[in-house]
Structure formats: C-alpha cells, structure tokens
Amino acid sequence: MWHSYPQSMSFDVTQVGDAAAFAAANGMRFEAAGGHPRFGGAVFEYLQDATVTDVFRDETIEVGTISGRVGGSQTTESTGWTVTTSYDTSAVKTYGYIAITLERAVPQLVLDSKRNGSSIPMMIGGGQKLAFEGDFQKHFTLYAPKGYERDALYIMTPDLMALLIDETGDFDVEVVDDMLFVYTTQPFDTASAAVWQRIGRIRDLVGAKAISQTDYYADDRQAANATTPIADDGRRLRLGFGGRYTLAIIVIGVFAAVIAIFGVVGFVLINALL
C-alpha cells in the first residue's frame, strides 16, 4: 500500500489541458463519464440520482466531479424499533472530490470548512460536534458519532490537523469506511497545472499522514470476528431534524406487538368485570 511520494510532490503537468494525455503521462485512467457513485459518506450518500464525471484514477487517488439532487435517508435499529429518517429536495449540487484509500476502516468523521459555508449535503444531527483547543476549530467544524470522541482525537492528531489547515483549509474533508475524501463546492479545474500541484500535495502530505495515523486503528466496540470492523453507532453520523430541509420519520417495529398486548389486557379486564 502506498504511503507517500517524498521524491515528487506534484504531477507531471506537461500534458495538462488534454485530459487523456495528462492521465496517461501520470499513469492514470481518465473517464469522461464515470457513471454512478461508487463511494459512501456525507456527499455520496446524500446526492440522489447522482452521476460522476471527469474521473482521473490510479491506485493511490481518484479525482472527479459528482452532481446530484440533495436528499437521502438513514435507517437505524434499537430495541425492536426500526426508524428511517429521510429528506428530499429539488436542490441540485455539484462537488469536486478527491478520494484516497486508507488501510483501515474508520468511524465517519466530517470536517466542515468554515471558509466555504455550510456546504455538506448531509443533515448532521445535534450532539455530534467536537470542540478543540487551538486554531483548528477556527478553520473546521468537526463532527463525530456520539461515543467516538476519543477515536476522533486518536485520528485527528495535531500534526494531521496542521496539514489539513495548510493544505485543505478551504475544502471540506471526511473520513468514512476506508476512505479519505476532500470536497470542493465547484469542480476541480483539471486543465490547471496549479490545481494538480495542489492535489499532489494533498495526496502526498494529508493522504500519507492520514494513512499512517489510521494504520493501527481498531474499533474496540466490535468483536474480532465481527462482519464489519466499525460498530453500527460509529459507521455513520446520525441525521438531524429540522434545519435547511424537511425530514420524514417512519417508525416500524413493535406497534403490532403493543396493540396485541393492549388487546389481550383489555379482553381480560372486561371479562373480569363481567
């Protein structure tokens, strides 16, 4: 697995402007139409009917554009109840993204940049915002699932935070599943040499440090033989209520059992009174 490229902090930009030639010069594949999203997380799961375009990909990185209608749903289960929270809008959003594969699955952490407004399409529920000392919280709002605050601190070390501020301070960042994502609210200008040089720094500095920092991470809430490495409570942030969009809540589970119990109790009481 790739960890860093200390010998070169940039791409070969001699063919920049010709997408296919640039990709070939850098050992990448280019797809003008990338099809449906293949990732999960705060952007990919909350853009509906989404399409991915202008994709550059190799074994270390994927750079592309995703467009779709804002909306999505989340289903949770607890003590016999299944709750589905969903929302749907007519708003269409487009994001540029950088995707870097980590070596370990991690809980979902979202870093919402304060320089680009509230641009994450996922409606993140309350009680999941972490406070940090120092300059980091001047640049990002960090969200972590409840109960995973220490895990977030394990991953977001001061040196990684410093790199995030320096290299991605105007972008949103997310780690989820076994991926690191960097999002911009406009497609990357892939005809610009400066943009590719910046992407190269993000890959070789932020990406390499994130891989190193998560290399030994394990969710101690999960048994060693569990089918998923991250417990359900940490796999995804909880959706919120209200805010920019209207949510629909569907609860399924023990209604039938409750109705049946009340029916039996009522029948017994009636017969006792008679």
- Of the chain, the end-to-end C-alpha distance in Å amounts to 77
CA–CA distance, 52 with 66 (Å, rounded to integer): 4
CA–CA distance, 34 with 99 (Å, rounded to integer): 14
CA–CA distance, 156 with 97 (Å, rounded to integer): 20
Contact in structure between 214 and 104 (CB atoms under 8 Å): yes
Contacts 24+ apart (CB under 8 A), 45-52: 45/72, 45/122, 46/70, 46/71, 46/72, 46/121, 46/122, 46/123, 47/71, 47/72, 47/93, 47/95, 47/121, 48/72, 48/88
Contact in structure between 156 and 109 (CB atoms under 8 Å): yes
Tens-place pLDDT, residues 133-161: 788 989 999 999 999 999 999 999 999 99
- The confidence score (pLDDT) of residue 259 equals 39
Tens-place pLDDT, residues 114-129: 999 889 999 999 999 9
User: Which range is least confidently modeled, 35-44, 62-71, 95-104, 235-244?
Assistant: 235-244
Residue 9 clears pLDDT 70, i.e. is over it: no
CA–CA distance, 63 with 98 (Å, rounded to integer): 5
Half-sphere exposure of 122 (CA within 13 A, CB side): 23
The pTM for the full model equals: 0.86
Look up residue 55 and give its amino acid.
V
CA–CA distance, 206 with 199 (Å, rounded to integer): 10
Confidence of residue 241 (pLDDT cuts 50, 70, 90): low
Task: Kindly list the domain boundaries of the chain, sorted by start residue.
Answer: 19-273
Give the mean pLDDT of 215-227.
91
Contact in structure between 181 and 98 (CB atoms under 8 Å): yes
CA–CA distance, 108 with 235 (Å, rounded to integer): 6
CA–CA distance, 260 with 255 (Å, rounded to integer): 8
Residue environment code for 133-143, b if the CB has 16+ CB neighbours within 10 A, otherwise e: eeebeebbbbb
- 249: alpha, beta or left? (left if phi > 0; alpha if psi -120 to 50): beta
Confidence of residue 168 (pLDDT cuts 50, 70, 90): very high
Q: What is the DSSP letter of 188?
A: -
